[in-house]
Structure 1
């Protein structure tokens, strides 16, 4: 069942991602270039991909969001290879705000996000970085601290040569339940028992990550507060 049939929802955040003004308060970890050639956010790496993890980056929304939300955005892949991730419910490991000065500085290196001093869920989609990912497309949900793969589903997104976006992506988190959709197709769902990999993560921040040398575009970033019908 599609999530909007399951939940009442109220828009609490909208960002068209049409210009630099729309991301002026966002926080970048790592180095990246942002442009808006088609009135949507284009993100690409600055550092040489040969530098490995040092060439990747995360862009965080400035807001701290409550629990029980649906996150939606439009996505266009422009250049491969690479990989996209959405972090959500991200906080310090002991409940600090993600940007609290007591937390270690983060620079886009992946280990800092799954074995640093933060907790988060993160879904990796459009996984085209490594050869095995390009040969068999999946979307993966992980829970951190740690590198726990908790759910996985087939990724229907085509490679760049056949892509004809926008692709509408939706991440729904209600209490212990997480669902992930692309163009209203349910890709995976996960029930967090709050025990196997630690307590359920609730409120927190949202961030977009890219792995070099991927170029991708984003628009119509929305967050809804939801509750069961």
Structure 2
């Protein structure tokens, strides 16, 4: 087992899922909501909008890994910011609002428009990082954790990733979800930590899907998606 950090009591356990995200075949079963171009010019997954950013929310999208994951996991991937402005977001523990599979036919269709994800018929946690869309986001860089349904901002920390002009990458993104605790890290540096009491913002979320969202005209690249069982040391 691999220790997460000297300051955190967690270890990586069994590897549950690995996807290099290096070619079209790697994501042939992924599910797109909205419209986007997925390409692999550097043998890593590049995501970019195809609709005009002037369309606002209609130009944004979510790309879902189809696998259902258990509770208490570590999610890691490599990230390169290629073009800004924009914003990157990752959903996890995503299910239907009543515990259905996220792609259950009874749920309303989703097309990448944000309110469908934070006040629709689904539940999820989501981390937004590399937030460079609005002027206040570009002048003061933060990473945010929200719990939905309800768009509750529950944790926030400084974003250490520089703007595209100074970014080199890859930046190792890591989400730790241990029962009621969530930790977000970049290059193994903790950005924020939060405990879900299961009362203030509704019941604690357990298990579900992982999805990647971008706000136009952001272009980002992703590789080496790993999901491990998370163990407490």
**How high is the TM-score relative to the length of structure 2?**
0.96
Number of residue pairs the alignment of both structures matches: 229
Deviation of 1:155 (Å): 0.3
What runs of 5+ residues in structure 1 fail to find an aligned partner?
none
Deviation of 1:8 (Å): 4.4
Q: 2:222 aligns with which of 211, 218, 223?
A: 218
Q: 1:178 aligns with which of 156, 159, 182?
A: 182
Matched residue of 2:78: which SS? strand
Change (3 A) 1:17 1:228: same
User: Equivalents in 2 of 1:221, 1:85: separation in Å?
Assistant: 15
User: Equivalents in 2 of 1:115, 1:144: separation in Å?
Assistant: 7
Instruction: Tell me which residue corresponds to 2:95.
Output: 91
User: Equivalents in 1 of 2:220, 2:12: separation in Å?
Assistant: 31
Deviation of 1:7 (Å): 2.3
Q: 1:166 aligns with which of 167, 170, 187?
A: 170
User: Equivalents in 2 of 1:97, 1:206: separation in Å?
Assistant: 12
Instruction: Tell me which residue corresponds to 1:193.
Output: 197
**How high is the TM-score relative to the length of structure 1?**
0.98
1:69 counterpart = 2:73 = yes
User: Equivalents in 2 of 1:228, 1:77: separation in Å?
Assistant: 32
Change (3 A) 1:27 1:142: same
Deviation of 1:6 (Å): 2.1
Residues 131 and 142, structure 2, Cα contact 8 Å, conserved in 1: yes
User: Equivalents in 1 of 2:27, 2:200: separation in Å?
Assistant: 36
User: Equivalents in 2 of 1:186, 1:4: separation in Å?
Assistant: 9
Residues 48 and 220, structure 2, Cα contact 8 Å, conserved in 1: yes
Q: 1:104 aligns with which of 105, 108, 116?
A: 108
